[in-house]
Structure 1
Amino acid sequence: PFGSVYAIDDPITEGPEPNSKVIGNAQGLYVSSAKDVLSLVMYVDFEFTAGEFNGSSISVFSRNPVKQAINRELAVVGGRKKLRMAKGFALLKTHSLEPKSGDAVIEYHVTVYHH
């Protein structure tokens, strides 16, 4: 419902399959921000726990029109450690969404520029 706030603490995996390798963790907040459609304003920190960017993260702060089938784009507004001062965007694709529980598998294609 409009105005609802949700906290997340979810794994980041290499692929959408349940047995995909975990490479990080996503923590943040979603706020249901529209009265007539499902749209979220979200702040999420995506921290990597494996690979080249282990211990580094990117931050997304943007509006997410959840039901929009194509062209869902979120802003990358910052980062930490190796991804410090990151700027860019994330293109999203929903693999699955369970409306009652809110559980979803979302694919992110992220383009980032950093120092």
Structure 2
Amino acid sequence: MASISFTFPIFLTIIFFLTFKIIPTIETNASETRLLFYYHERTKSPNATTIKVVSSPIDQTVPIFAFGNIFVFDDPLTKGLDPESPVLGRVQGGLVITSLDGYDGLYNFNMVFTGFDPWTGSTLTVIGRNPTQQTVKELPVVGGTGRLRLTRGYIILTRLTSLARPDGIITFEVNLTLWNN
């Protein structure tokens, strides 16, 4: 019995090394890139780009971030801080306030590139927790389409203006792993 317990670990070690020797090495065709965009939202008419479509049924007197509130948005994504700078695309999606205290929400949106070569016509998909009261937050990039297919990464969002203002500006620091086709 002692010889079996001694040879079994040796056998497993040999199988382990043979497995790695036989499996071909997969070359990754990935590259990393960092991008900076500016997201401009307008919450007041005229020309609102972010609106509340459902109000919390619990308490109508609660401020904007109340459990159950649902927002949709279609906001411009620009090259510069100035809202008149070149538009590179749109940020289209929604926010659902999911915590009872109103401080957290589920953010899901697509970054649709309309004027940003070489990715015009491509999208990035972002979904994650949005701590609404924090100035800086991190959200995962879970995929993309077109030339951004299989992209992964994260976005650091930094609010540059007060939540009380009707014309919010948020920086998008986008860190991506791109798969080159």
CA distance in 2, matches of 1:90, 1:8: 18
Task: Give the CA deviation at 1:60.
Answer: 0.3
Task: Give the CA deviation at 1:99.
Answer: 3.0
What is the CA deviation profile of residues 14-35 of structure 1, one whole-angstrom value per residue up to 9, with x for unaligned ones? 1222212110011111101222
> Where is the strand percentage greater, Structure 1 or Structure 2?
1
Q: Which has the higher contact order (CA 8 A, sep 6+)?
A: 2
Check whether the contact 1:16–1:95 (CA below 8 A) recurs between aligned residues.
no
CA distance in 2, matches of 1:66, 1:15: 24
Residue 104 of structure 1 corresponds to which residue in structure 2?
168
Task: Give the CA deviation at 1:100.
Answer: 7.1
User: Which of the numbers 129, 141, 148 marks the counterpart of 1:63?
Assistant: 129
Structure of larger gyration radius = 2
SS in 2 for 1:82: helix
> Where is the helix percentage greater, Structure 1 or Structure 2?
2
Q: Alignment length, in residue pairs?
A: 113
SS in 2 for 1:35: coil
Identity %: 33
Single out whichever of 9-18 and 84-93 deviates more from structure 2.
9-18
Check whether the contact 1:8–1:28 (CA below 8 A) recurs between aligned residues.
yes
Check whether the contact 2:143–2:151 (CA below 8 A) recurs between aligned residues.
yes
Task: Give the CA deviation at 1:9.
Answer: 0.8
**Cα RMSD (Å) of the superposition?**
1.6
CA distance in 1, matches of 2:69, 2:139: 20
* Contiguous gaps of at least 5 residues in structure 2: 1-65
Residue 35 of structure 1 corresponds to which residue in structure 2?
100
* Contiguous gaps of at least 5 residues in structure 1: none
TM-score, L = length of structure 1: 0.88
Check whether the contact 2:67–2:102 (CA below 8 A) recurs between aligned residues.
no
SS in 1 for 2:169: strand
Check whether the contact 2:123–2:144 (CA below 8 A) recurs between aligned residues.
yes
Q: How does 1:10-49 map to 2 (within 5 A)?
A: 10-49=75-114
